[in-house]
Amino acid sequence: MMGEERVARRQIGRKGSMARTWLMMSSEGQRQMVEAGRQSIMRRTGLTARDLRNLDPMLSYPSTIVGRDKAMVLNLEQIKAIITAHEVLLLNSRDPSVIPFVDELHARILNHHCTAPTTDHPQEGQNGKDRSEIKRDSSNNVKILPFEFVVLESCLEAVISSLENEANILELEAFPALDKLTSKISTLNLERVRHIKSRLVALTSRVQRVRDQLENLLDDDGDMAELYLTDKLAQQQFEIFSAASSINNNGDDMTANQVLQQDIVDRTHPEISLEPVEDLIDGEDYENVGGEISGTQAATVYSGVPNVQELEMLLGAYFVQIGATLNKLSALAEYVEDTEDYINITLDDKQNRILQAGVQIGTASVIVNFFVVVTGIFGMNIHIDLFEAKANSAFLETVFGCTATCIILYFLAMFWYKKRRIL
């Protein structure tokens, strides 16, 4: 970090509006903390209040990547940003989960700024590595990604990598817990698996939202064309140059270049001031630099409707990656469901065994009650011949006969249960 840190807080915008702290990072790699209200951001980026509500941390909105006339609104997981053709505004840059992304984004922006082509052939970076932002088209011509696509790619990579890491960690925790539950069903193991399943459902929902957003973008070429902010700016500049040339040809005192430069400044430099809270790069005030473009360059860049093939390839790669993560989570969810089915089958089997034991015990109790009746008869205070001493043999025969009868009836009952498939 170069320069001295400065602290100058000021409420900006309409009175009563809440100012939020934003990290503003230019296409040249300069970054600083600013405080700005909603109205200030709306005037600077051309967004509406509805667009800004997508970034409100107090509200719950689905994943969003939407392009507007001069800016792109991005809300993916922990990353909430407004991207223009020459700068990016991050809302929650001080979040611990966002700080590594901020550093990575800053490095990429600096690398992208240094790769501005001055010759027909790309050069290597300071470390001798090929510039990742330099692409070649089908004609082997050098092509550098626009600034907004560099930021978009960094955001997608950070979000999808974070989700993939969470999926891998969850997978490492889930399989041992499920195997342990399968071997031993206990309250502790059940509670552990329940917690893992809750995390799995929440993570799957987050991954699904990101995947759905990418799928919606890929399905609509119009939405992808709205994300070409640099091309739209070049189109505007081309129209301005054409109008200025027409005025110049009609003998107007103002030259075409003056008209062009004045209107470009009006379009790219809104008349608001965002006072810095902390200058993270140097001690100078941040200034948006609008790129100048000649009429010949504008005519070359502008082609009516942007070719979305470049963005489609970029989004397609991350769509495949997030799809692989979703498939991994789906496979883990199926494994959890299979384990639940196995546990339910095991519990049902134990319950059936308990019911069978209850039937057997109940049948034995009913049969023994017949013997109890005989015992009750002998216990009555009445005179019968079996009580005579000479009838001891008959008494024993009665007792053993009743016992044998109960045993036979029990086995007959069990055989009937088996035959009727009750047991």
Give pLDDT, residue 22. Answer: 92
Is it the case that residue 43 has pLDDT exceeding 60?
A: yes
Give pLDDT, residue 309. Answer: 87
What's the rounded Cα separation, in Å, for the pair 67 and 54? 13
pLDDT band at 24 (very low <50, low <70, confident <90, very high): very high
Is it the case that residue 357 has pLDDT exceeding 70?
A: yes
In terms of DSSP H, where are the helices of 184-301? Answer: 187-219, 221-225, 229-249, 256-268, 295-301
Q: pLDDT, tens digit, for every residue of 59-76? A: 777 888 999 888 999 999
Q: Are 189 and 107 in contact (CB under 8 A)?
A: no
Is it the case that residue 303 has pLDDT exceeding 70?
A: no
Give pLDDT, residue 294. Answer: 37
Answer yes or no: pTM beyond 0.75.
Answer: no
Stretch 31-38: mean pLDDT: 88
CB within 8 A of 218, min separation 6: which ones? Answer: 224, 312, 315, 316, 319
Closest CA to 227 of 86, 51, 74, 66: 66
Instruction: Give the distance from CA 50 to its chain's centroid.
Output: 22
Is it the case that residue 215 has pLDDT exceeding 70?
A: yes
Give pLDDT, residue 133. Answer: 52
Is it the case that residue 401 has pLDDT exceeding 60?
A: yes
pLDDT band at 5 (very low <50, low <70, confident <90, very high): very low
Give pLDDT, residue 79. Answer: 92
